[in-house]
Amino acid sequence: MNFEEIKYKVINNIRIKPEEGLFLLQKAPILELGELAAFVREVKNPSPYVTFVVDTNPNYTNICTIDCIFCAFYRHPGEEGEYTYSVDELIQKFRESAAMGVTTILLQGGVNPNLSLDYYIELVNRTTKELPDIHPHFFSVSEIVGMAEVSRLSIEEVLRKLWDAGLRTLPGGGAEILSNRIKKKISNKKETADQWLDVMRTAHKIGYKSTATMMYGHIEKDEDIIEHLESLRKLQDETGGFTAFIPWSFKPGNTPLEKIIPHYASSTRYLQIIALSRIYLDNFAHIQASWFSEGKKIGQIALHFGADDFGGTLLEENVHAAANYVSKTNTDEVINLIKEAGFIPAQRTTLYQIIKIFE
């Protein structure tokens, strides 16, 4: 196996195998890998646009009983600093965001055993009815599993109730690395990799769309990253329900895992992963670059390594902030960053429909 053979397959739209993905991750020259991924991006998204969404990422509760060792955000019930917002408080927050031009609320929280399913249903119901300009992009797989446990309903029943209340998309958080071996070590009370995929499968079959994420740069091996991409590619073949793939690196500050992994993964690693995912996930329409988690300059470079979307403006963010990682922007800066990188910025909806182009 060599790079030229794999490149030939990619250029001719022949799906690459896991061992070829591993070769690209470990042995491909970085600039050639980026060039190949940029070629794939051109074929899949031949437009000169790079999209972004005006969004915010509040959290309704930080109470959680799952104890992931990579997480600095959660508090146990009764612990100092715990909080849970009421539905009224959240609707008020959302109203203020809508007044600032936000169109997507990406809402997640801890897995809080004190919250009933009615709380979530009421929140979705009121958001869709009272704030028609806001798209609720609510609840990761872990929270859906938590709701099923508290309500003693099946995952499908919970998802159908949320659907009936007006929810249509789910954020792809909680995937971390889709390897049961790794998940057992970093989040052994959380759903397994197979369960994460099952919840997404069930959601997609009901009609939901979702993103898929990956948090790398901790205890995973290269093979685990390939396993993650392979699992996503298979599920996407089956359901077609993923809109985009969003990788980011682990931020160790204030987490139990900090003692073992004290540093961030390198920027080179990020660019390799963006490029590899663009090539490997041949059935995903969009790959998202993150100005937020990897820095604005690297976010711009990632647009030349296969990414076609610049993520959200994230007016509020608390999870990385708890790990001492803070980065801020605004809509004007996102537009300028995309232009500086050589593309035309285009504001999109949660479902990637373009609503405004900034020539």
Binding residues vs ligand SF4 (CB under 6 A): 64, 66-68, 71, 73-74, 110-111, 142, 187, 190
In the complex, minimum distance from the CB of residue 191 to ligand SF4, in angstroms, rounded to a whole number: 9
CB 178 within 8 A of CB 231: yes
**Residue count of the chain:** 359
**Could you give the C-alpha distances from 231 to 21, 65, 225, 270, 337, in angstroms and in order?**
13, 27, 10, 20, 33
CB-wise, 175 or 197, nearer to ligand SF4?
Answer: 175
CB atoms within 10 A of CB 2: 9
In the complex, minimum distance from the CB of residue 145 to ligand SF4, in angstroms, rounded to a whole number: 10
CB-wise, 64 or 257, nearer to ligand SF4?
Answer: 64
- Which token pair is 30? 């970085």
- According to DSSP, residue 177 is labeled S
Residue 347 has φ and ψ, to the nearest 5°, of: -75, 140
CB-wise, 65 or 331, nearer to ligand SF4?
Answer: 65
In the complex, minimum distance from the CB of residue 186 to ligand SF4, in angstroms, rounded to a whole number: 9
Among 66, 19, 47, smallest CA distance to 229 is for 19
**Could you give the C-alpha distances from 131 to 23, 98, 100, 103, in angstroms and in order?**
48, 8, 13, 10
Q: What is the rounded distance in angstroms from the CA atom of residue 267 to the CA atom of residue 321?
A: 20
CB-wise, 256 or 295, nearer to ligand SF4?
Answer: 256
In the complex, minimum distance from the CB of residue 65 to ligand SF4, in angstroms, rounded to a whole number: 8
In the complex, minimum distance from the CB of residue 146 to ligand SF4, in angstroms, rounded to a whole number: 8
CB-wise, 135 or 190, nearer to ligand SF4?
Answer: 190
Cβ burial, residue 65 (10 Å; 0-12/13-18/19+): middle
In the complex, minimum distance from the CB of residue 214 to ligand SF4, in angstroms, rounded to a whole number: 14
In the complex, minimum distance from the CB of residue 75 to ligand SF4, in angstroms, rounded to a whole number: 9
CB-wise, 248 or 305, nearer to ligand SF4?
Answer: 248
Q: What is the rounded distance in angstroms from the CA atom of residue 222 to the CA atom of residue 197?
A: 20
In the complex, minimum distance from the CB of residue 303 to ligand SF4, in angstroms, rounded to a whole number: 28
Among 258, 40, 249, 65, smallest CA distance to 146 is for 65
- Residue tagged 């019930």 (tokens): 77
Secondary structure element (H or E) that encloses residue 297, with its range: helix 296-302
CB-wise, 68 or 98, nearer to ligand SF4?
Answer: 68
CB-wise, 41 or 137, nearer to ligand SF4?
Answer: 137
Residue 73 has φ and ψ, to the nearest 5°, of: -90, -35
Question: ∠91-127-97 over CA atoms, to 5°?
Answer: 55
In the complex, minimum distance from the CB of residue 322 to ligand SF4, in angstroms, rounded to a whole number: 9
SS3 call for 160: helix
CB-wise, 111 or 212, nearer to ligand SF4?
Answer: 111
Q: What is the rounded distance in angstroms from the CA atom of residue 177 to the CA atom of residue 188?
A: 13
